Amino acid sequence: MKVIIVGGVAGGATAAARLRRLDEKAEIIIFEKSGYVSYANCGLPYYVGGVIGDFDELTLQSPEGFFSRYRIDVRVRHEVVKIDTAAKTVDVRNLDTGKTFTESYDKLLLSPGARPVNPGIEGADCKRVFTLRTVEDTVRIKAFADAHKPARAMVIGGGFIGLETAENLSRLNIDTTVVEFADHILGPFDRDMASLLHAEMRRGGVKIMLKTAVSSISEKGDALLIETQDGGKFETDMVVLAAGVAPDTGLAAAAGIKTGIKGSIVVNKKMETSAPDVYAVGDAVEVENLALGTRALISLAGPANKQGRIAADNIAGGNSEYDGSFGTSVIKVFSLTAASVGANEAQLKAAGKDYEKVVLSPLNHAGYYPGGKVMTMKVLFDKSTLKIYGAQIAGSEGVDKRIDVIATAMRAGLSAVDLKDLELAYAPPYSSAKDPVNVAGFMIENVLTGKVKQFHYEDVASLPSTVFKLDARTPYEYARGHAEGFVNIPLDEIRERLDEIDKNKPVYVMCQSGLRSYLACRILAQNGFDCYNFSGGYRFYDIVSRDVLPAASAYPCGKDKN
């Protein structure tokens, strides 16, 4: 059996290695357009910033290494320019010699990945405008930064690559600005949760321009002139275009292979395309979004690796299936970690889902153990079925652990309430006896059983004058900042001051993290008040309102066990 693989990196290289382990006799050839067959594309921005200092660390496997260990024929700088699915051949151009030749196959695997997109920006091909997708891109950016010592940089796009690139350019003492068309960075997050990231980027010295579209780039002496659709003009020394990617599927489409969303390759669960004996994996294929039950593009290394493994199983005569993806992801943003899984609110609203949410601000470990740091969590779930739709978390430590627990719960089909019953490891330096994931489950149970009613950030501005707004924090906390119109009655004084609260009005209660306001609501509800608890707490409200992280001293951890 002769197998040709178009493209390496996560999907193609994984499939090749797996296939060799399954079939020692198969002839396997990888054609890779770039000069590198297997590299850590997620690590490319960190080489630019010097975090990864050794260039060789980026290349996971060389052509020589592939042949030595797996007897796989890897040909870099070879571009497949045509597929004939009837004749079962591919035409390949050697990019060093310019010569083209034809190669036959028994099985063909497409792993072309995705290409950076230009959202209609005139002059995007100017010198000093870069993209960051391949090792060669990384080398160009690093060489330019080292040689020219640019003082200013603009990153167009606030997604994963854009943010990582901006942070690493800033690390080189380059005055860096991120320009984002949407009203917040990092699309998997909702606007409220993204506020924590806005604040952290700005704290790290990176400027952010939201709801801004670049219309043109032109050369102005030794600088670049950036013009925006709203008439703004800015000068910079370099631009990194990171406005998103699109499936690189022109080759497949030209061969008559069925395509779907944004031109992506349509595959079944076995990773088979519409053409006989042709498979496809990675960023170029559409898969099922398991959170919403829809077809989607999920460009992540983890799914690509799994798809490559499954395709290899089936090429070798197996019967493996890829069910889909929840899109679990994580990113470092200076000193914060941001992670998400599943659908966000915007997607749920667009899909017409009847969902509920809880927002909480727990410490990453036991409050009495030194060094506790607040994380902010949002969990979304179906009101009727209790299916967990998704979660978003941002914080300094312990974020990746919690998102992985929730992602596992989603894969296992656990309900939102089931989160309270998970038995998770506890020791004071790592967690609390009630882990933040458990606390989310407790909150969801309280909401569903009517023990607490909620209101959220987006509700605060529209609260009518016919409600009583109560802040249950200490006078010290209240004096340092509070939401407009909220009256301060500390939690520990509420029972003695019930006569100061109008029993004929619904009571909306806020505290620092949501715990004391919940306790206040339990007291008030059992004394005949109609009470609503603010999800997330004042700390969350303050960050979302101002896009600024409070000073650590403003909210000392554990001060009021909240």
Q: What is the pLDDT of residue 75?
A: 95
Q: What is the pLDDT of residue 100?
A: 98
Q: What is the pLDDT of residue 232?
A: 94
Mean pLDDT of 402-421: 98
**H or E stretch at 179:** strand 175-179
Q: What is the pLDDT of residues 114-162, one digit of tens each?
A: 888 888 899 999 989 999 988 889 999 999 999 999 999 999 999 999 9
Q: In which band, very low, low, confident or very high, does the pLDDT at 550 lie, cut at 50, 70 and 90? A: low
Q: What is the pLDDT of residue 560?
A: 44
- Flag the least confident range among 150-154, 298-302, 368-372, 553-557: 553-557
Q: What is the pLDDT of residue 558?
A: 38
User: Which residue, chain included where needed, has tokens 């066990």?
Assistant: 561
Q: What is the pLDDT of residue 8?
A: 83
Question: What is the pTM (predicted TM-score) of this model?
Answer: 0.92
The bridge status of strand 107-110 relative to strand 278-280 is: parallel
Q: Give the count of beta carbons closer than 10 Å to the beta carbon of residue 124.
A: 19
Using the predicted structure, report yes or no on whether residue 316 has a pLDDT greater than 60: yes
The answer to whether 244 and 114 have CB atoms below 8 angstroms apart is no
**Length of the chain, please?**
562
Q: What is the pLDDT of residue 47?
A: 86
Which phi and psi angles does 456 have, rounded to 5°? -120, 175
Q: In which band, very low, low, confident or very high, does the pLDDT at 559 lie, cut at 50, 70 and 90? A: very low
Using the predicted structure, report yes or no on whether residue 206 has a pLDDT greater than 80: yes
Residues acting as catalytic residues: 42
Q: What is the pLDDT of residues 457-466, one digit of tens each?
A: 999 999 999 9
Round the average pLDDT of the chain to a whole number and report it: 92
Q: What is the pLDDT of residues 52-91, one digit of tens each?
A: 888 777 776 788 888 899 899 999 999 999 999 999 999 9
3-state secondary structure of 451: coil
Q: What is the largest CA-CA distance in the chain?
A: 89
Q: What is the pLDDT of residues 522-533, one digit of tens each?
A: 999 999 999 999
The C-alpha atoms of residue 455 and residue 448 are separated, in whole angstroms, by 14
The answer to whether 91 and 101 have CB atoms below 8 angstroms apart is yes
Beta strands in 371-517 (DSSP E): 375-382, 388-395, 454-455, 468-471, 487-488, 507-510
Q: What is the pLDDT of residue 66?
A: 84
Q: What are 524's two structure tokens? A: 């008030």
Q: What is the pLDDT of residue 561?
A: 42
- The percentage of residues in the chain with a pLDDT greater than 90, rounded to a whole number, is 82
Q: In which band, very low, low, confident or very high, does the pLDDT at 553 lie, cut at 50, 70 and 90? A: very low
**Residues in CB range of 419: below 8 A, 6 or more apart:** 379, 388, 406, 409, 437, 438, 440, 441, 444
Q: In which band, very low, low, confident or very high, does the pLDDT at 554 lie, cut at 50, 70 and 90? A: very low
* Residue type at 280 in one-letter notation: A
Q: What is the pLDDT of residue 552?
A: 47
Using the predicted structure, report yes or no on whether residue 202 has a pLDDT greater than 90: yes
Mean pLDDT of 250-262: 95
Q: Give the count of beta carbons closer than 10 Å to the beta carbon of residue 137.
A: 18
Using the predicted structure, report yes or no on whether residue 13 has a pLDDT greater than 60: yes
Q: In which band, very low, low, confident or very high, does the pLDDT at 555 lie, cut at 50, 70 and 90? A: very low
Mean pLDDT of 413-438: 95
3-state secondary structure of 205: coil
Q: What is the pLDDT of residue 57?
A: 78
